[in-house]
Structures are given as C-alpha cells and as structure tokens.
Amino acid sequence: MKSFNVKISSIGDVKNFVNIVSKYDFDIDLISDRYVVDAKSIMGIFSLDLTKPIEVQVHTDDADAIGAELAPYLA
C-alpha cells in the first residue's frame, strides 16, 4: 500500500482524477478527516471537503504508474 496527498479543486479535476483511477483494477481510497470514500466514485469525492488536501491510499505494491499519472494533483 502506498499513500500520498492530492489537491482536487475543480469539477474538471474531479472528472479527470476519476478517469485516471478508474483505469486500475486495484482499490484506491480517498481519506479526509474521518471519511473514507472510493476514489473511483464521483459522488463520493464530492462528499469530501475539497478545500484541503486529501489522502490517497493505493492498495497495491506497484503504485509507480498511478503515481506518475496523478503527479499534477499531488499536494
């Protein structure tokens, strides 16, 4: 498992983020305070506080490819 923080600040960012993470078969979670949502869920992301960085947990041992694709969102 690998974790890092991202900043998703607009509706377009949410759409692009979901498109990126949906390409992968493993589980990816977003954590904000006490809430954990599926990163592949647009509605779940909109339920989070997008004004601050959100922790991403990637549940795989090989997270290099997704890390490179999410580089524009890293906080």
CA distances from residue 6 to 9, 47, 49 in whole angstroms, order as listed: 10, 16, 12
Assigned fold of 2-73: Histidine-containing Protein; Chain: A; (3.30.1340)
Burial class (CB in 10 A: 0-12, 13-18, 19+), 8: buried
> Can you give the pLDDT at residue 13?
95
pLDDT tens readout for residues 55-64: 999 999 888 8
pLDDT above 90: residue 26? yes
Q: How high does pLDDT run on average in the chain?
A: 94
- What is the Cα–Cα distance from 61 to 16, expressed in whole angstroms? 23
Show me where the domains of the chain are located: 2-73
